[in-house]
Amino acid sequence: MKSAGIDELVARPSAWLGDGKRSGIVVSCRVRVARNVHGESFPCWMQEPDRIRLWKKLSASLAELPSMVDPLVFEMGELQWCDKQVLKERHLISVEECEKGAGSGVVLRGDESMSVMVNEEDHLRIQAMSPGSNLERLWKLVDRADTELERVVRYAFSEKLGYLTACPSNVGTGLRASVMLHLPGLGLLNETEPVTKGLVRIGFAVRGLLGEGSDASGNMFQISNQRTLGECEADIINRLSEAVAEIVGHEKNARARLIEQRREYVGDFVGRSVGILTNAHLLSSRELLDLLSGLRLGRDLGMIRNIATSTMYELILLTQPGHMLKITAKDLTPEKRDEMRAQLVRSRLAGMTAQV
Amino acid sequence: MKSAGIDELVARPSAWLGDGKRSGIVVSCRVRVARNVHGESFPCWMQEPDRIRLWKKLSASLAELPSMVDPLVFEMGELQWCDKQVLKERHLISVEECEKGAGSGVVLRGDESMSVMVNEEDHLRIQAMSPGSNLERLWKLVDRADTELERVVRYAFSEKLGYLTACPSNVGTGLRASVMLHLPGLGLLNETEPVTKGLVRIGFAVRGLLGEGSDASGNMFQISNQRTLGECEADIINRLSEAVAEIVGHEKNARARLIEQRREYVGDFVGRSVGILTNAHLLSSRELLDLLSGLRLGRDLGMIRNIATSTMYELILLTQPGHMLKITAKDLTPEKRDEMRAQLVRSRLAGMTAQV
């Protein structure tokens, strides 16, 4: 069992949560490429012995890459349910990877800024994450690791199509860049929908905080490119960066209008968030996200002081089921979890007030 | 204009709000009798000159009753809309009386413990109110005023039916006794309905805080006798007192079970109420009632200290539209009213905390 490594992770904040460029609105960003190994079946057509053989080979190569500083290696077959949850909640592996067993796994940089899933949908998914708006730097990180790996592994590549992937939607660059945005101003003005619809129209995918299919809890939206084919990597990154800059403009404009025209309405949102967070005794994870949205907006607008960005995001992370299970070492009922979540939040935010 | 007298009222708490016997659960009680004058048409069949003549005669007689200490006299035709609202919000006149003009009015004891409406549905409605559980004493007060008045006014009375009234539902004793109960324990356990249904089955009417047709905002319920015929006054009062004692028992039992089995659930209700009241910047009157219910329960359970019962009920009173209009002397929009209400509540409850 590899729980020791997981325990280390639980005890510290995630690399991608904290302050960064434009971090009042751009929470975090992520870049990943999908790669497959020449001459091997895609993971879901592989037999288990082949998958295990490939995992051993790739994980060993990954752990030795110069980019992979202080590597941590986890094989899914060796992890308990809650260990996988912790990795998923830290966005180091996908929901799908949690379902996998022997022969699938992940290799991370010790600081969690980069992770490579092996034998998820593709043989390799190389991803880098950071707080704030940082797409160009992340692309460089991923590109470097990709280049290092290509020296030891022959990728499945077509001169005509580019990198080959299990799902046609990833063929070509195999690149997916995404940005997590916090848009409470647009949310309070009911103006989110035109913005997200416009993004979809020009070829971006929009999702909630928890990925595909999830709604916009806590006014958080994840924007990513849809196309991987017919556009080079730099263009994909540029186009997304430009779209993000535009949305940031809309959100700033919404906040300015709110403060000028409806200060009490914003103050009510911020004040109630503080009041409930510091006094509730039962909190669902969904409600916590919504309340932390108020806290974050309050801090951005100068209504709340003395609260670090990292504290807010740590609360999101530490109060998710997997992390709570690891911290308390108890299998909690949902109501008991709501109680512990509220207790943790009260203790972290004790004495906080809002000055509207 | 008689606004001067109304301004005096606005500046002080209502007589029926405060601490009294069993006041943790029994908020207040009220007893009224309906009487009509022999030889006069009922008010709604009267011509205006007759109504004015009768108002002048009755209001003069009422103001001179020994029970009517420091009388205040208000004729509806002389009051502005907001003055009538103030009287209604203090439960000194009915919603119907607000609609009346010249020839209808009210005479009150200076301390607001008794009020007599003239030419509402009946010529006379004599009522007494007090905080807590106090029906027997109130009945004595009303009975004394009634006896004093009968010395100078001849009532419409039938040997067979008793006192005659405009609506047959009041014929006989003309007596309506009611009790306002605060039942948050039963509310939190979703056990209110069986209790109120049982009361209706044995002949009581159950209404929300704001009288006929209103729902149970703030876990407040008003229970009153339905029958006025075939039962003497003492029996009506006794039967209601017994029903109240039984409901108080159910509520105490509910609270005990909550504290023993679901302390965090109650604590969440109380804590959130404190958190929102002390931090919101917009509060509707409906939400305020619900939140004050949490505050009141928290105080009864020892989770909140240093808050007087009167403060809580003053907040209900002072934040109603008529009172707010008198206090601010401005015609406010509903949103502006919600803002002022929240501001008043924050300033009165500043620094309050709950210890669950």
HEC letters along chain B: CCHHHHHHHHCCCCCCCCCCCCCCCEEEEEEEEEECECCCCCHHHCCHHHHHHHHHHHHHHHHCCCCCCCCEEEEHHHCCHHHHHHHHHCCCCCHHHHCCCCCCEEEECCCCCEEEEECCCCCEEEEEEEECCCHHHHHHHHHHHHHHHHCCCCECEECCCEECCCCHHHCECCEEEEEEEECHHHHHCCCHHHHHHHHHHCCEEEEECCECCCCCHHHEEEEEECCCCCCCHHHHHHHHHHHHHHHHHHHHHHHHHHHHHCHHHHHHHHHHHHHHHCCCCCCCHHHHHHHHHHHHHHHHCCCCCCCCHHHHHHHHHHCCHHHHHHHHCCCCCHHHHHHHHHHHHHHHHCCCCCCC
* SS3 label, residue A348: helix
* SS3 label, residue A29: strand
Query: Which chain B residues touch A337 with a CB distance below 8 Å?
Result: none
Q: What is the pLDDT of residue A23?
A: 64
Q: Which residues contact A224 (CB under 8 A, 6 or more apart)?
A: A176, A177, A178, A179, A204, A205, A207, A240
Please identify which residue in the block is written with the tokens 């790996």: A149
- Residue A212 in this model has a pLDDT that exceeds 80: no
Question: Rounded to whole angstroms, how far apart are CA atoms A151 and A332?
Answer: 47
Query: Which chain B residues touch A274 with a CB distance below 8 Å?
Result: 275, 279
Scanning every residue of chain B, which has its alpha carbon at the shortest distance from the alpha carbon of A342? B268
As a whole number, mean pLDDT of residues A12-38 equals 83
More confident residue, A213 or A104: A104
| A275–B265 C-beta distance less than 8 A | no
- Cα distances (angstroms) measured from residue A85 to each of A90, A96, B63, B294: 8, 11, 77, 37
A258, A265, A272: which to substitute to probe chain B, counting the most B Cβ within 10 Å? A272
Query: Which chain A residues touch B272 with a CB distance below 8 Å?
Result: 275-276, 279-280
Q: What's the one-letter identity of residue B91?
A: H
- Residue from B187, B278, B269, B294 nearest A282 by CA: B269
Scanning every residue of chain B, which has its alpha carbon at the shortest distance from the alpha carbon of A338? B264
Q: What is the pLDDT of residue B5?
A: 81
CB atoms under 10 Å from CB of A63, counted, come to: 15
Query: Which chain A residues touch B277 with a CB distance below 8 Å?
Result: 275
The one-character DSSP state at A155 is: B
Q: Which residues contact A243 (CB under 8 A, 6 or more apart)?
A: A199, A202, A204, A223
C-alpha dihedral (B169, B172, B173, B179), degrees to nearest 10: -20
Length of chain B: 356
As a whole number, mean pLDDT of residues A44-56 equals 94
State chain B's mean pLDDT as an integer: 90
As a whole number, mean pLDDT of residues A331-345 equals 90
Closest Cβ–Cβ partner in A264, A272, A280 for B279 = A272
- Residue from B284, B279, B172, B175 nearest B229 by CA: B172
Question: Rounded to whole angstroms, how far apart are CA atoms A214 and A205?
Answer: 13
Tokens at B112, concatenated: 């607001």
Question: Rounded to whole angstroms, how far apart are CA atoms B283 and B340?
Answer: 8
Scanning every residue of chain B, which has its alpha carbon at the shortest distance from the alpha carbon of A268? B281
Please list the residues that pair with B32 across neighbouring strands.
Answer: B127, B176
Rounded to a whole number of angstroms, the distance from the CA of A307 to the nearest CA of chain B is 17
Please list the residues that pair with B127 across neighbouring strands.
Answer: B32, B115
Question: Rounded to whole angstroms, how far apart are CA atoms A113 and B122?
Answer: 80
Dmax over Cα atoms in chain A, in whole Å? 65
Residue A234's Cβ-count burial label (10 Å; 0-12, 13-18, 19+) is: exposed
Is-contact A155 A38, C-beta < 8 A?
yes
Q: What is the pLDDT of residue A324?
A: 86
* SS3 label, residue A256: helix
Residues in chain B with pLDDT values less than 50: 1
Question: Rounded to whole angstroms, how far apart are CA atoms A217 and A210?
Answer: 9
Question: Rounded to whole angstroms, how far apart are CA atoms B234 and B128?
Answer: 16
B81: left (phi over 0), alpha (psi -120 to 50) or beta: alpha
State the pLDDT confidence band at A40, using cuts at 50, 70 and 90: very high
Q: What's the one-letter identity of residue B23?
A: S
Q: What is the pLDDT of residue A1?
A: 39
Which segment, A12-26, A215-229, B109-123, is predicted with the most confidence on average? Answer: B109-123
Scanning every residue of chain B, which has its alpha carbon at the shortest distance from the alpha carbon of A340? B264
Tokens at A2, concatenated: 């590899």
More confident residue, A214 or B92: B92
Closest Cβ–Cβ partner in A265, A274, A279 for B271 = A279
Tokens at B40, concatenated: 């006069």
Q: What's the one-letter identity of residue A248?
A: V
State the pLDDT confidence band at A211, using cuts at 50, 70 and 90: low
Closest Cβ–Cβ partner in B274, B275, B281 for A268 = B281
Q: What's the one-letter identity of residue A96?
A: E
As a whole number, mean pLDDT of residues A307-319 equals 83
Closest Cβ–Cβ partner in B271, B278, B280 for A280 = B271
Q: Which residues contact B262 (CB under 8 A, 6 or more apart)?
A: none
Tokens at A113, concatenated: 């800024």
As a whole number, mean pLDDT of residues A266-275 equals 97
Question: Rounded to whole angstroms, how far apart are CA atoms B122 and A295?
Answer: 57
* SS3 label, residue A197: helix
